[in-house]
């Protein structure tokens, strides 16, 4: 192999042929966005939209300043600053790969325990949007009620120490306090996480925390700041040795490359109190009502990911594409989606639920995307409560089938026991893994022990159609195996047949 070319500003003109590089002068960019959570998804999605807009000669004063509030974010900062905040995106399409260097990020603030530098960056009048990708479980909400969890230790810390907060939201509030005092005005808070009503949830967290210490400031934020809902979509695997080797095979020395599928979607409410980039000129959709787009994506795609990942982990299947290729998992996926989920998803302009299911089946089956079942199954305690259980509650309220969703929950419970059917160990894969594993092991002999997790299921244990189906399927999984349970479900045409068949 020829000598690798380090990724940095000086080498943009020397990268291998075929690698698309920024056409704009990065030295002329100025910041307008602070983004908290510089993982792969942000760099392969939101940063790309802005980069492409800059390629049109637009949005030169909207560049991104990266930030993080967790200790591991410091390592990411070091990696990205070491290459001038550039990222190589590698698109993995069924027909082949292509590479592009994204340059819309220009700085990364120091990661500090008191978030002083982050607060300073957000307090600058040039900052007009503060965006976040902090995972579905990072918004301090009660998983059953959805209410703001003011009793969380981190929230209590920030309420007691508003000028040295440990959370992103405490930092946002302190920055807004400084802006109001200086007459700089509000900014827009833009959540880019997979939560239905993510803007509403972000507003709830920020305003709720502010109200604990400064009700007047909370009222000012609630009145003057905007928190648009948004729906984001692109499959972006984690970066590991294979991805690092892939970027090197292109001749580029990049410490933080991102691989992604050949599909992106971004639907955003057009509610920005301090202006915004014209992302719609490069494919994003602005709308006054993002709810139906959110529901379709979260319930069918994100929920579908959980169907595949939990079953795949139990059977020792490493990737999502391999799970899609497994005949029994594939049949389970299709039937649950069509029978239990799609009836509770409204169509959106240009896309009916059945067409969307077909689209995501194709995307999930793409073997070039090496997305692991382990990554997708991570933090099931947040993902099931956000992606699966809302649909289950709607189905119960409508008196419709929950048989497939009950089986999905039983598969998750089986996975959380911590061993695969081949006897290998499933390493801890959830922030509350110990609690999940204890419940899963108790549920092996007493299935309702899993449903006793009130922080996840709430009153669903008393919903007989769900509880009875769940207990039936979990008992069968432990007795006969996951494949037998999936086959019993997919071979039946009704609840009664499913029970008789099994």
Closest to 141 (Cα-Cα) out of 150, 153, 133, 130: 150
Residue 237's pLDDT is what? 93
Higher pLDDT, 182 or 1: 182
C-alpha dihedral sign at 35, 122, 223, 161: positive
Q: How far is Cα 348 from Cα 97, in angstroms, rounded to an integer? A: 30
Determine the number of helices (DSSP H) and then strands (DSSP E) in the chain: 24, 14
Q: Is the pLDDT of residue 339 over 80?
A: yes
pLDDT level of residue 390 (50, 70, 90 thresholds)? very high
129-145 in b/e burial notation, b at 16+ Cβ within 10 A? bbbbbbbbbbbbbebbe
pLDDT tens digits for 141-165? 988 888 999 999 999 999 999 999 9
Q: Are residues 268 and 388 in the same domain?
A: no
pLDDT for 493 equals: 65
Co-location of 230 and 344 in the same domain: no
Instruction: State the pLDDT at residue 499.
Output: 53
Output 492 or 128, whichever has higher pLDDT.
Answer: 128
CB 23 within 8 A of CB 257: no
Residues 277, 303, single domain; the answer is no
Q: Which of 256, 287, 318 is the last residue of a domain?
A: 287
Q: Which CATH number fits the domain that encloses residue 141?
A: 3.40.50.720
- The predicted model gives 235-242 an average pLDDT of 94
My answer on whether 398 and 475 are in the same domain is yes
**Average of per-residue pLDDT across 31-40:** 97
Torsion of CA 222, 203, 345, 276, to 10 degrees: 80
For the stretch 177-221, pLDDT in tens is: 999 999 999 999 999 999 999 999 999 999 999 999 999 999 999
Q: What is the mean pLDDT of residues 271-298?
A: 96
State the residue for tokens 């979509």. Answer: 233
The model carries a pTM of: 0.89
Instruction: Give me the phi and psi of 144, to 5 degrees please.
Output: -95, -50
Same domain, 453 and 401: yes
For residues 431-436, average pLDDT: 97
One domain for residues 229 and 328: no
Q: What is the mean pLDDT of the segment spanning 464-471?
A: 98
pLDDT in tens, 270-281: 999 999 999 999
Q: Is the pLDDT of residue 471 over 50?
A: yes
Q: Are residues 41 and 71 in the same domain?
A: yes
Pull the structure tokens for residue 399.
Answer: 């008196």
Scanning the structure block, which residue is given the tokens 């300043």? 65
Name the CA radius of gyration of the chain, rounded: 23
pLDDT at 21 over 90: yes
- Say what the pLDDT of residue 450 is: 98
Question: How many other C-beta atoms are found inside a 10 Å radius of the C-beta of residue 202?
Answer: 27
Number of domains in the chain: 2
Residues 459, 354, single domain; the answer is yes
Q: Indicate if 242 and 305 belong to the same structural domain.
A: no
Give the whole-angstrom CA distance, residue 225 versus residue 245: 44
What's the average model confidence in pLDDT over 388-404? 97
Q: For residue 426, which phi and psi values (nearest 5 degrees)?
A: -90, 115
Residue 2 has pLDDT above 80, yes or no: no
The edge-to-edge listing of strands for the beta sheet with 258-260 is: 19-20, 96-102, 87-93, 258-260
Domain finish residue from 244, 259, 287? 287
Question: Which of 232, 252, 287 is the C-terminal boundary of a domain?
Answer: 287
Altogether, the residues listed in the chain come to a count of 502
Question: Tell me, what's the pLDDT at 496?
Answer: 52
Check whether residue 192 and residue 160 sit in a common domain: yes
Residue 171: closest CA among 179, 62, 244: 179
Backbone phi, then psi, for 440, in 5-degree steps? -65, -40
pLDDT for 93 equals 87
Non-local (6+) Cβ contacts of 493 within 8 A are none
Rounded to an integer, the average pLDDT of 258-280 is 97
In order, the DSSP letters of 274-339 are: T----GGGGT-EEES--HHHHHHIIIIIIHHHHHHHHHHHHTT--BHHHHHHSHHHHHHHHHHIII
Say if residue 270 is in the same domain as residue 310: no
The whole-chain average pLDDT of the chain stands at 95
For residue 424, the enclosing domain spans 291-501
What is d(CA 125, CA 287) in angstroms, rounded to the nearest whole number? 27
Indicate which CATH number applies to the domain containing 453. 1.10.1040.10
Say whether both 335 and 235 belong to one domain.
Answer: no
Structure tokens given for 389 = 């259980």
Least confident span in 83-87, 115-119, 228-232, 493-497: 493-497
Instruction: Give strand pairing partners of 89.
Output: 100, 258
Cα angle 67, 73, 74; round to 5: 95
pLDDT value of residue 144: 84
CA gap 135, 291 in Å, rounded: 19
Is the pLDDT score of 1 beyond 70?
A: no
Between vectors from CA 92 to CA 90 and to CA 93, what angle results, nearest 5°?
140
Q: Are strands 87-93 and 96-102 parallel, antiparallel or unpaired?
A: antiparallel
Residue 501 banded pLDDT, cuts 50, 70, 90: very low
């Amino acid at each position: 192999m020829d000598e690798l070319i380090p990724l940095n500003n000086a080498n943009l003109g020397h990268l291998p042929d075929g690698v698309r590089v920024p056409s704009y002068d990065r030295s002329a960019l100025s910041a307008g966005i602070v983004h908290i959570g510089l993982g792969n998804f942000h760099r392969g999605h939101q940063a790309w939209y802005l980069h492409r807009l800059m390629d049109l000669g637009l949005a030169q004063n909207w560049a991104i300043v990266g930030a993080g509030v967790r200790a591991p974010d410091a390592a990411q900062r070091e990696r990205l600053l070491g290459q001038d905040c550039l990222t190589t995106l590698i698109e993995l399409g069924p027909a082949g790969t292509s590479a592009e260097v994204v340059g819309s990020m220009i700085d990364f603030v120091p990661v500090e325990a008191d978030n002083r530098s982050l607060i300073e960056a957000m307090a600058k009048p040039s900052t007009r949007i503060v965006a976040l990708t902090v995972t579905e479980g990072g918004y301090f909400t009660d998983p059953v009620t959805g209410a703001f969890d003011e009793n969380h230790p981190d929230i209590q810390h920030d309420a007691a120490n508003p000028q040295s907060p440990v959370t992103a939201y405490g930092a946002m509030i302190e920055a807004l306090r400084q802006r109001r005092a200086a007459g700089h005005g509000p900014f827009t808070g833009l959540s880019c996480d997979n939560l239905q009503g993510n803007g509403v949830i972000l507003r709830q967290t920020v305003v709720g925390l502010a109200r604990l210490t400064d009700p007047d400031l909370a009222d000012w934020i609630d009145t003057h700041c905007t928190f648009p809902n948004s729906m984001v979509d692109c499959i972006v695997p984690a970066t590991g040795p294979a991805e690092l080797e892939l970027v090197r095979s292109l001749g580029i020395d990049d410490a933080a490359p991102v691989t992604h599928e050949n599909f992106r979607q971004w639907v955003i409410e057009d509610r920005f109190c301090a202006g915004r980039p014209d992302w719609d000129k490069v494919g994003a959709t602005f709308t006054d009502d993002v709810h139906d787009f959110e529901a379709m994506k979260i319930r069918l795609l994100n929920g579908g990911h959980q169907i595949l990942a939990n079953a795949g982990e139990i059977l020792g299947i490493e990737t999502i594409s391999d799970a899609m290729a497994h005949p029994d998992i594939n049949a389970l996926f299709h039937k649950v989606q069509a029978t239990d989920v799609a009836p509770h998803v409204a169509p959106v302009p240009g896309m009916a639920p059945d067409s969307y299911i077909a689209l995501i089946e194709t995307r999930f089956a793409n073997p070039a995307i090496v997305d692991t079942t382990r990554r997708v199954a991570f933090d099931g305690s947040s993902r099931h409560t956000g992606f699966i259980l809302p649909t289950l509650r709607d189905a119960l309220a409508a008196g419709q089938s929950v048989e497939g969703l009950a089986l999905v929950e039983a598969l998750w419970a089986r996975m959380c026991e911590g061993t695969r059917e081949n006897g290998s160990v499933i390493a801890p894969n959830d922030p509350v893994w110990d609690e999940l594993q204890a419940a899963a092991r108790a549920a092996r002999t007493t299935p309702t022990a899993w449903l006793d997790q009130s922080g996840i299921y709430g009153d669903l244990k008393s919903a007989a159609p769900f509880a009875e189906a769940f207990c039936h399927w979990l008992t069968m999984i432990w007795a006969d195996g996951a494949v037998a349970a999936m086959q019993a479900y997919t071979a039946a045409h009704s609840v009664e047949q499913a029970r008789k068949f099994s």
